[in-house]
A and B are shown apart, each in its own frame.
Chain A
Amino acid sequence: MNQTIVKEALGSGVVIEAVQSMTGAESIAPDHMGRGSVSAKGYIPKAMTIGRELEQEVHHLLFAQAAMLDAKNWSGFIELFSSAGVYWAPARADQTDWQREASIFAEDKLLMEVRMGRLQHPNAWSQAPLWETNHMVGNIVVESQGEDSLEVFSKFQMMELRRDHVRHFAGSYRHSLIKESGDWKIKLQRVDLINAQASFDYVIQAWI
């Protein structure tokens, strides 16, 4: 008996086709997310070609910067900066002025010296547990070249181990480099973390 009814029910049906009409939530509020249409966003670096030797100098500087951090060679890291050098990790990608924005890091060399002093102090308690970082810098692009100045874009990945806990940070660097006493120095290191407005499980103790 049931079989007959089920068979009958399955014996007919409809075909629905996507038509030019408002569907689903659109029929109630065309833009209920209030987002507008979603367009591409983010920063695409504009690559320029420079001499091979200069390119290598840039790579060496960026790799040295990462190595200093992983080796906890804080003074070596600070020495990579020019006399008026600045390390800045904005909280949002659209920020432009390191001195006027709510930031994660906003440090000139004097404040970097304070951070170094803290990290080196025997009673920097949070430094006692196992703590290691590993930086990878890649996708290095020189964007512009002036007389004794360069703008360099790159991407980084940083894994951090603290106690038995691993954290992962990633983002882009924008380095403004200048020649000072014959060497390339960092005038501004801008660090755009993709995690910048995420919830931080614990804090960041040293430069990224």
Chain B
Amino acid sequence: MTTLDLEHLVQPDKVHKSVYTDERLFELEMEHIFEKAWVYCGHESQVKNVGDYWTVQIGRQPMVMVRDKDQVVQVLYNRCPHRGVQLCGNQSGNTGQAFVCSYHAWSFHLNGKVRAIPLMKGYDGTALKTSDPDSSMVPAARVKSYRGFVFASLSSTGPDLLEFLGDAKVAFDDMCDRSPVGEVEAVPVMHRVVQKSNWKFFMENQLDALHPSVTHQSTGVAARRVEQRLKSDNGSAPLFFHYLSTFASSFDQWDSVQTVNFPHGHGILKAYMGLRPTDPDTVEYEGILKKAYGEEKGEEYLGRSIHHVLIYPYLSVQSPLQQLRCLRPISASETQSEIWHFRLKGVPEAIYQRSLWYFNLVNSPATMINADDLENWTKAQIGLQSNGGEWVSLHRNYGQDTEKEGVLYSNNGTSEVVMRNQFIAWKAYMLSAQSPNPV
């Protein structure tokens, strides 16, 4: 392997283009970031019943999340230990009491332990023992849930889940606290969209407040035109026009939206959409929440200023509207995103409708927003492969952000502290690729 010179690749205010384009770096990222860190697998409500499963990719590893007979959610390598065949060939379903291999019918309990092997006497006197872990499905090294959201780490060492999430765990608190019973349920429609670009573009873009009024101008302007006509004709317009029209705000307006940047590369873009109108549905909902939690807590939960929370390096949670997008990188230049939304338990249908409309208008595969993001990132991926330059500039507002107790607060919404902070985390993960610890 060629020497990995992290000091050269990642500098405080610029990064080398190869961090987006080099397939060898991508393999190292898979090994040292995605296959070590805590990775989101899914929500417990995706596997409600014993035997329900969802297949999920962690780094390069095909895994399966399953509810076992003790109601524990397991995350196992989706692989038969006999000849290596995937046990679940489809995305999701119910596997009954066991996984059974389609090749030679080895079967496994839902916790992965071998259950039966046909013609077992064929192994009499051989080295194969069913008590040997090599005869069972291999579990993820660590599996843990936070408020119903299931994470797995393929490394037995490293920070525990809450330490990894740090303050960014507010993503799940903010989503769940908006339900009077503190719970959400996954709506079982998962859209998948492939971007022809490195996964980092998505993560950087999510908190990039300089791009919306440029990239999304066409949609913002078109939505504002209809919204204003409805307001002048009827006195009001449905809230979902606002989801689209805010994209057409000015540079100065976007510069006033603060970002909060945490250790491990996580971050928050603070709220910019007014999501607390005074219509009867909202008033009823806020009443329900305050009844459940009391005036003070209720106000805290309703008033949190969050647009997106990023869990680096793969998750974007839009908690106020219960949206979640999870990246599954494919190669240095290709990334799949999985797109979900959630239903707050115990709230009026009109409040669910807000998440639904956001999901349908902004996050669906016919999105009028991401169409132009994806176009940018495709062109960026192509541009970065050129010899027309070596560096990607992250200079904007460098040295002008405020640091308090390890958290970086932007004083300008458009500060590229977002990217700089993500690369601090990237560099820290990649240090182990530079000097691997001997086993």
Point out residues on A near B: beta carbons under 8 Å.
24-25, 27-29, 31-35, 89, 91-92, 99-106, 110-111, 113-119, 121-126, 128-129, 197-205
Enumerate 10 A-B pairs (CB-CB under 8 Å) in ascending A order.
Answer: A24-B105, A28-B116, A32-B96, A100-B353, A102-B364, A110-B230, A114-B368, A117-B223, A117-B225, A197-B189
- Beyond A32-B95, A123-B214, 18 additional contacts (C-beta under 8 Å) are A25-B101, A27-B118, A32-B99, A34-B93, A101-B356, A104-B365, A118-B222, A121-B217, A124-B218, A125-B375, A128-B375, A197-B191, A199-B336, A200-B194, A200-B365, A202-B193, A203-B193, A203-B366
B367 at the interface (CB under 8 A from A): yes
Roughly how many angstroms separate A25 CA and B278 CA in the complex, as a whole number?
A: 60
A204-B189 in contact given A29-B96, A117-B221, A124-B372 (Cβ < 8 Å): no
Q: Contacts of B96 on A, CB cut-off 8 Å?
A: 29, 31-34
Q: Please tell me if the beta carbons of A113 and B226 are within 8 angstroms of each other in the complex.
A: yes
Count of A-B contacts with CB under 8 A? 145
Roughly how many angstroms separate A49 CA and B100 CA in the complex, as a whole number?
A: 50
B309 at the interface (CB under 8 A from A): no
Interfacial residues of chain B within 103-118, with CB under 8 A of chain A in the complex? 105, 107, 115-116, 118
Band of interface residues on B: 35 or more
Point out residues on B near A: beta carbons under 8 Å.
51, 93-102, 105, 107, 115-116, 118, 187, 189-196, 214-215, 217-219, 221-223, 225-226, 230, 241, 244, 336, 341, 353, 356, 359-361, 364-368, 370-372, 374-376, 378
A203-B100 in contact given A102-B359, A118-B218, A123-B217 (Cβ < 8 Å): no
Roughly how many angstroms separate A104 CA and B189 CA in the complex, as a whole number?
A: 10
Q: Contact partner of B218 among A29, A33, A123, CB < 8 A?
A: A123
Roughly how many angstroms separate A115 CA and B190 CA in the complex, as a whole number?
A: 23
Q: Please tell me if the beta carbons of B218 and A103 are within 8 angstroms of each other in the complex.
A: no
Q: Which 10 A-B pairs have the closest CB atoms?
A: A117-B222, A121-B218, A32-B100, A102-B189, A34-B94, A126-B375, A124-B218, A199-B192, A200-B365, A25-B105
Q: Contact partner of B191 among A33, A91, A110, A111, CB < 8 A?
A: A91
Q: Contact partner of A200 among B192, B215, B368, CB < 8 A?
A: B192
- Tell me the smallest distance from the CB of B83 to a CB of chain A, in Å: 15
- Tell me the smallest distance from the CB of B104 to a CB of chain A, in Å: 9
Q: Contacts of A126 on B, CB cut-off 8 Å?
A: 371-372, 374-375
Roughly how many angstroms separate A100 CA and B349 CA in the complex, as a whole number?
A: 9
A103-B105 in contact given A32-B96, A91-B191, A125-B372 (Cβ < 8 Å): no
Q: Please tell me if the beta carbons of B95 and A33 are within 8 angstroms of each other in the complex.
A: yes
Q: Please tell me if the beta carbons of B374 and A203 are within 8 angstroms of each other in the complex.
A: yes
A117-B105 in contact given A28-B100, A28-B116 (Cβ < 8 Å): no
Q: Contacts of A25 on B, CB cut-off 8 Å?
A: 100-102, 105, 107
Q: Contact partner of B365 among A106, A121, A125, A203, CB < 8 A?
A: A203
Roughly how many angstroms separate A28 CA and B95 CA in the complex, as a whole number?
A: 13
Q: Contact partner of B95 among A34, A103, A121, CB < 8 A?
A: A34
- Tell me the smallest distance from the CB of A31 to a CB of chain B, in Å: 6
- Tell me the smallest distance from the CB of A163 to a CB of chain B, in Å: 9
- Tell me the smallest distance from the CB of B86 to a CB of chain A, in Å: 13
**Interface-central residue, B98, B219, B368, by most chain A CB under 10 Å:** B368
- Tell me the smallest distance from the CB of A187 to a CB of chain B, in Å: 20
Q: Contact partner of B189 among A32, A92, A106, CB < 8 A?
A: A92
Q: Contacts of B378 on A, CB cut-off 8 Å?
A: 202
Q: Please tell me if the beta carbons of B364 and A29 are within 8 angstroms of each other in the complex.
A: no
- Tell me the smallest distance from the CB of B47 to a CB of chain A, in Å: 12
A199-B194 in contact given A102-B356, A106-B360, A204-B365 (Cβ < 8 Å): yes
Q: Please tell me if the beta carbons of B230 and A114 are within 8 angstroms of each other in the complex.
A: no
Q: Please tell me if the beta carbons of B187 and A102 are within 8 angstroms of each other in the complex.
A: yes
Roughly how many angstroms separate A39 CA and B76 CA in the complex, as a whole number?
A: 31
Q: Please tell me if the beta carbons of B374 and A202 are within 8 angstroms of each other in the complex.
A: yes
Q: Which of chain A's residues has its CB closest to B107's CB?
A: A28
- Tell me the smallest distance from the CB of B122 to a CB of chain A, in Å: 15
Q: Contacts of A35 on B, CB cut-off 8 Å?
A: 93
Q: Contacts of A204 on B, CB cut-off 8 Å?
A: 365-366
Roughly how many angstroms separate A60 CA and B52 CA in the complex, as a whole number?
A: 47
- Tell me the smallest distance from the CB of A93 to a CB of chain B, in Å: 12
Roughly how many angstroms separate A114 CA and B243 CA in the complex, as a whole number?
A: 12
Q: Which of chain B's residues has its CB closest to A91's CB?
A: B189
Roughly how many angstroms separate A202 CA and B334 CA in the complex, as a whole number?
A: 11
Roughly how many angstroms separate A101 CA and B371 CA in the complex, as a whole number?
A: 22
- Tell me the smallest distance from the CB of A10 to a CB of chain B, in Å: 22
Q: Which of chain B's residues has its CB closest to A34's CB?
A: B94
A105-B366 in contact given A25-B100, A200-B192 (Cβ < 8 Å): yes
Q: Which of chain A's residues has its CB closest to B189's CB?
A: A102
Roughly how many angstroms separate A117 CA and B370 CA in the complex, as a whole number?
A: 16
Q: Which of chain A's residues has its CB closest to B94's CB?
A: A34
Q: Please tell me if the beta carbons of A89 and B366 are within 8 angstroms of each other in the complex.
A: yes
- Tell me the smallest distance from the CB of A107 to a CB of chain B, in Å: 9
Q: Contacts of A198 on B, CB cut-off 8 Å?
A: 192
Q: Please tell me if the beta carbons of B191 and A114 are within 8 angstroms of each other in the complex.
A: no
**Interface-central residue, B51, B187, B189, by most chain A CB under 10 Å:** B189
Q: Contact partner of A118 among B97, B105, B189, B219, CB < 8 A?
A: B219
Q: Please tell me if the beta carbons of B360 and A103 are within 8 angstroms of each other in the complex.
A: yes
Q: Contacts of A119 on B, CB cut-off 8 Å?
A: 218
Roughly how many angstroms separate A125 CA and B356 CA in the complex, as a whole number?
A: 26
Roughly how many angstroms separate A128 CA and B378 CA in the complex, as a whole number?
A: 13
A200-B218 in contact given A29-B107, A114-B244 (Cβ < 8 Å): no
Q: Which of chain B's residues has its CB closest to A111's CB?
A: B361
Q: Please tell me if the beta carbons of A203 and B192 are within 8 angstroms of each other in the complex.
A: no
Roughly how many angstroms separate A72 CA and B361 CA in the complex, as a whole number?
A: 21
- Tell me the smallest distance from the CB of A102 to a CB of chain B, in Å: 4
**Interface-central residue, A31, A126, A198, by most chain B CB under 10 Å:** A126
**Interface-central residue, A34, A118, A119, by most chain B CB under 10 Å:** A118
Q: Please tell me if the beta carbons of B376 and A200 are within 8 angstroms of each other in the complex.
A: no
